[in-house]
Amino acid sequence: MGFWIYIVFTDMMIPVLMTVFGLIFMHRVPVKINSIYGYRTRRSMKNKDTWAFAHKHIAKSWLRVGIITAVLSFIILLMLYGKSEETVGNIGLAVCIVQIAVMVISIIPTEVALHKTFDSDGKRRN
């Protein structure tokens, strides 16, 4: 049971962090463009407008995706209760890999929105 609890805790970290950062970025965009904290891509770091836009956009995605991923992951992990450590470990790893893929894929809509809203110099398109 201890290993199952460990897997539940570790597998819930990604969706919980996505949800938390979604809430943080929705209400509070990092003030300064920096290379340490925030949604950092070449396009999002062009200027303050692209920076704020990207954070607001990814916040909505991460909030939605984080909650959905957390619920689905927890349901899957509940079904593993009482199973062998090998089964819990293997499926727990698969859940974690899927979560990482979902998190990375959730970046694509933000980059597309940035591309549609701003030109290559970071100026808003008309």
Whether residue 40 is contained in a domain is answered as no
* pLDDT in the model for residue 1: 83
Whether residue 62 is contained in a domain is answered as yes
pLDDT digits (tens, 9 = 90+) for 62-119: 999 999 999 999 999 999 999 999 999 999 999 999 999 999 999 999 999 999 999 9
Tell me the average pLDDT across 28-50: 91
> CB count, 10 Å around CB of 96?
16
Whether residue 97 is contained in a domain is answered as yes
* pLDDT in the model for residue 126: 77
Whether residue 87 is contained in a domain is answered as yes
Q: How many domains does the chain have?
A: 1
Higher-confidence position of 74 and 35: 74
Task: Give long-range contacts, CB 8 A cutoff, 24+ apart: 102-107.
Answer: 102/65, 102/69, 103/14, 103/18, 103/62, 103/65, 106/18, 106/58, 106/61, 106/62, 106/65, 107/41, 107/58
The pTM (predicted TM-score) of the whole model is: 0.85
- To the nearest whole number, what is the mean pLDDT of the chain? 94
Under DSSP, is residue 34 helix (H, G, I), strand (E, B) or coil?
Answer: coil
Tell me the average pLDDT across 49-56: 95
State which residues form the domain around 108: 2-28+45-117
**Cβ neighbourhood burial of 86 (10 Å; 0-12, 13-18, 19+):** exposed
Tell me the percentage of the chain whose pLDDT exceeds 70: 100
The two tokens of residue 79 are 């079904």
Whether residue 16 is contained in a domain is answered as yes
pLDDT band of residue 27 (cuts 50, 70, 90) is: very high
Whether residue 71 is contained in a domain is answered as yes
Whether residue 123 is contained in a domain is answered as no
Tell me the average pLDDT across 42-49: 93
Whether residue 113 is contained in a domain is answered as yes
